[in-house]
Amino acid sequence: MDHNLFSNGLIYLAAAAIAAPLGRRLGLGAVLGYLIAGALIGPAVLGLVAEDREEVMHFAEFGVVLMLFVVGLELDLSRLWRMKGPIFGLGGLQVVATALVIGAVAMLSGIDWRQGLALGLILALSSTAIVMQTLRERGISDTSAGSQSFAVLLFQDIAVIPILALLPLLAHLPGSAETDATHSAPSWIGSLPAWGQGLAILGAVGVVIIVGRFLLTPWLRWVAKLKVTEALTATTLALVVAVALLMNAVGLSPALGTFVAGVMLASSEFRHELEGDIEPFKALLLAVFFLAVGAGIDFGLIAAQPLAIGTMVVGLIVLKFAVLFILARVFGLSFDQRFLFAAALAQGGEFAFVLGAFAVGHGVIDSEMGARMIAAVALSMALAPLLLRATQQWILPRLGTPSIEGDNREPDVRNDGAKVMLAGFGRFGHPIARLLRSAGCMPTVLERDSDHVDFLRRIGMKCYYGDATRLQLLKAAGAEEAALLILAVDDEEQSMGIIETCHKHFPHLKVLARACSRQHAYQLHDAGVRFFIEQLGSSLDCAIAVLEELGHESDHAKDAARRFKAHEMDVIEKAAPHRHDDERYVGMIRQNLQDLDSLLENAPLPVHGQGEKT
């Protein structure tokens, strides 16, 4: 038994178990929590995982492979085809422009042009793992900035292969004989002529497409018929590992190959089962990956050269941010989406560890520069979640966004004299606004996603860009004259912050709020706010339809739903004061369940043809 393997496994798992909930509890997010925990257990602080960090990093990179497979499962070929412009246009320009800008700055700093260009190519790539996870945590993966970030990251994964081919051409220093073979293309591929290498790559991609499209689905159907759950999980993992090995054998990115495999299975009826099987492994391996990145930050080198490395970190973030922001404007993103897009991708990526070792080994950059670059990349990755958080919560709310009418700016929020204000125009808020508009009571709508605002204005809805958590914006929107505020935001903390602001500055304003959960409903109840539990109405509509399908009278089914809703609201009101007393709270909920059963049993629902209406 390898004692070292088990002890390191225990350390990483314990760190992951503590870092994620603690990071989220402190408002830092899981990714930053993992990075900080990795730095603590690494050789620079506690030294708990000093020996095998490199081996762990290679193992944990499989988490990135699994993540790209899951991302592929969430797409289909038609959507991918629609994204070809952002992928190859925006993505291609980003890599080329960033590489040239960083290379030019390096040359102006006295670095040889070949070494500068190599640094530019390596640093042009961003962290797929950190960006995708952080966008999802921040709730902006489906925004324009999120979708464009994904397109650029996908192109960057594709670009790794030509960058690997180009780097040896920039060699001007003595190479290392100890270059890790796993960081370069396999020797058998290198021995083929150019056309042979192209055929080998096309053949590998073709195998993935054929297996994913025509062979795997019949196999999964057969496995599903046998109802052997572990066989389905084993099939999924075997597929991902096989594709990763095949792509590595022909010199392609394993992550790119598994992404293609995921896209091929996106239209399969087993898509959700495959995603569910992969998710626990993906989450765990990504956590280990982030921990390994944190553990790999060379604090000794940073302490020895703080000015040089600090300048590299700041320069990398500023230069990438500027290039990304300009390109986002060229491609038509609105101001706040440009800012989010640039902030999301303004860091180095995990491929820098691979490409950096490859470049040093082939005499492209010297070992000292390579060490500084890796330290700067690791620090930029650690700062990435903080940069996006600061951009979303502190910077953008103070900058606002340009009006969609053009460059002639005016305050985006105006006081229309409406008696009703609506904060949030998502799945909860938009039916409210549409109904009120049809009834002649159009509210003043505030929405934080400027692209959504632009679209709503184009279809004729009156909507303003703005963050309802800001006191000045609420005043500008007419909170002092309005009678009602409807809170339809999906962030419970923000919701309670807005309520606190209104109680303090607009005590006359009656607030009606969306309750995102039962605990949120309790908080709203304590604040004296009338609340509406999210999806309760649609859930009861579905229950009514089920009862009708089973043959129950429609009127009685609706009456049962009405009584259930009234009972639910009564339970919340009675249980709210006791929710922190676990024993009493559980007892009350259990008793209320029995009361509900008795309530409906005393007025049973008649079935068609089995009794008179009562």
Distance between CA atoms of 178 and 324, rounded to whole angstroms?
Answer: 36
Q: Both 427 and 388 in a single domain?
A: no
| Residue 312 and residue 446 in one domain | no
Phi and psi dihedrals of 469, rounded to 5?
-75, -10
Structure-token pair, residue 32 = 């930053």
In a shared domain, residues 16 and 111? yes
Same domain, 426 and 383: no
Question: How far is it, in rounded angstroms, from Cα 294 to Cα 317?
Answer: 18
Mean pLDDT by 10 residues, the chain (614 residues): 66 82 72 80 74 60 72 68 81 93 91 90 88 78 82 83 78 54 50 70 79 76 73 78 80 72 72 72 76 77 87 93 93 84 89 79 84 87 85 73 38 66 84 82 80 71 75 82 88 86 90 86 87 78 82 83 82 78 75 69 54 41
Among residues 380, 396, 412, the one where a domain terminates is 396
At 324 the pLDDT is 94
Structural domain contains residue 591: yes
Q: Which domain holds residue 502?
A: 420-601
pTM over 0.75: no
Cα–Cα distance measured from residue 22 to residue 40, given in angstroms and rounded to the nearest whole number:
14
The CA distance from 165 to 532, in Å, is 59
Q: Which of 337, 363, 396 is the last residue of a domain?
A: 396
Q: Which residues, including other chains, have CB under 8 Å from residue 501's CB and lie 6 or more apart?
A: 469, 471, 474
| Residue 204 sits in the same domain as residue 239 | yes
Tokens 């897009």 label which residue? 341
Same domain, 436 and 359: no
Q: How many domains is the chain partitioned into structurally?
A: 2
Pair 314, 427 in one domain: no
> Could you tell me the two tokens for 488?
């339809």
| 415 within a domain of the structure (yes/no) | no
| Residue 160 in domain | yes
Tell me if 407 is assigned to some domain.
no
128 and 268 both lie in a single domain:
yes
413 domain-assigned: no
DSSP label at residue 515: E
The secondary structure of the chain in percent helix, strand, coil, rounded to multiples of 5, reads: 70, 5, 25
Distance CA 412, CA 419 (A): 19
Identify whether residues 441 and 378 lie together within a single domain: no
How confident is the model at residue 189, as a pLDDT? Answer: 63
Residue 96: the pLDDT is 94
pLDDT of residue 230: 75
Burial of 91-129, coded b for 16+ CB within 10 Å and e otherwise, reads: bbbbbebbbbbbbebbbeeebbebbbbbbbbbbbbbbbb
Residue 522 sits in a domain of what CATH number? 3.40.50.720
Q: According to the model, what pLDDT value does residue 567 have? A: 80
Q: What angle do CA 590, 596, 599 make, to 5 degrees?
A: 145
User: Residue 374: inside a domain, yes or no?
Assistant: yes
Q: Output the pLDDT for position 362.
A: 78
CATH number for position 336? 1.20.1530.20
Residues 351, 227 share a domain:
yes
Q: Which of 352, 381, 396 is the last residue of a domain?
A: 396
Q: Is residue 610 domain-resident?
A: no
> Does residue 369 sit in the same domain as residue 440?
no
With a CB cutoff of 8 Å and minimum separation 6, the contacts of 524 are 495, 496, 499, 513, 515, 530, 531
Same domain for 392 and 467?
no
Is 516 part of any domain?
yes
